[in-house]
Amino acid sequence: MTALQSRNLGLRPLADVWAEMQRFTDTRTGATPDELWFVEHPPIFTLGMNADASHLVDPGDIPVLQIDRGGQVTYHGPGQLVVYTLIDIRRRKLTVRSLVETLETAVIDTVAPYGVIAYGRRDAPGVYVGDAKLAAVGLRVRRHCAYHGLALNVRMDLEPYQRINPCGFEKLEITQLSALCSVNSLSDVRRDLEWQFRQKLA
């Protein structure tokens, strides 16, 4: 299997990283290794390609960007671990659905050692604890290669979620790891999540 490389991008504007993902996908070849990009973003709301703008209730001073992933509206901000999964799904013999399930399971298995019992929902992609959403998933596939990925709430300001209908669901409760367990740092979670991805995409 082609190697899986990882990059830690730190805190970067979403628009810049999105453009880099598009360039990477458009120029990669059959020999290009798949990559995981770990990043945090400054505060921003994003809308999927076919998102209903009415779910953006009161953005206030937080910028809004429509991007080319699936799904509705979500929020990104510091303290949220975003993982962009630049994966050749044909080479790895994955479907879009199986890649979504891989992303969800990687999060579920990452948080389990912290004592957090999480699960995925086929009718509403993402990872949930009880009735609250812990991680969002959104992908785009072009030239049989996927990009975008998942956003796991670790230790962040959740107030901006009150300004939207997260993922298109009115009054959907949003949670984060720091509210559910003791987490040492975002870097620890990143290490654990990367290990899970490497096991599941081996």
The number of distinct structural domains making up the chain is: 1
Kindly state the tokens that stand for 103: 């992303």
Q: How far apart are CA 45 and CA 83, in angstroms?
A: 17
Q: Which of 160, 9, 173 is nearest to 83 (CA)?
A: 9
Residues recognised as catalytic: 167
Q: What is the pTM of this model?
A: 0.95
pLDDT of residue 3: 83
Query: What are the pLDDT digits (tens) for 50-69?
Result: 889 899 999 999 999 999 99
The boundaries of the domain holding residue 31 are 4-200
Kindly report the CATH number assigned to the domain that includes residue 71: 3.30.930.10
The three-state (H, E, C) secondary structure of 35-54, written as one string: EEEEEECCCEEEECCCCCHH
Please give the average per-residue pLDDT across 6-24, as a whole number.
97
Q: Is the pLDDT of residue 1 over 70?
A: no
* pLDDT tens per residue, range 181-202: 998 789 999 999 999 999 999 8
Q: Please state the separation of Cα 172 from the chain's center in Å.
A: 17
